[in-house]
Amino acid sequence: MNESIEQTAGRNVRSLREEQHLSKTAFCLMAGVSRPYLNRIEAGQANMSIKQLDRLAKALGTDVISLLR
């Protein structure tokens, strides 16, 4: 079974956030998202816009494509 794009992005957001030793609270402040929304993102349950993906990518110091691979 293939992973959905939401699951892939969520897995990559979580992985990069943890690699950078960022707490959920700190990352939420950096990315401008709420904690419940970040939980949904990292669980692969959020249908994010390109604009939202771009904000997350910038907060993590990467690009949108990297979140989707």
Tens of pLDDT, residues 40-62? 999 999 999 999 999 999 999 99
For residues 21 and 44, give the distance between their C-alpha atoms in angstroms, rounded to a whole number. Answer: 20
pLDDT (mean) for 14-24 = 98
Residue 3: what are its φ and ψ, rounded to 5°? -75, 140
pTM of the model: 0.94
Angstrom distance (rounded) from CA 65 to CA 44: 16
d(CA 20, CA 42): 15
Q: Going from the N-terminus, what domains does the chain have, and what CATH number goes with each?
A: 5-60 (1.10.260.40)
Percent of the chain topping pLDDT 70: 99
Distance of CA 67 to the CA centre of its chain: 7
- One DSSP character per residue, 24-41 reads HHHHHHHHT--HHHHHHH
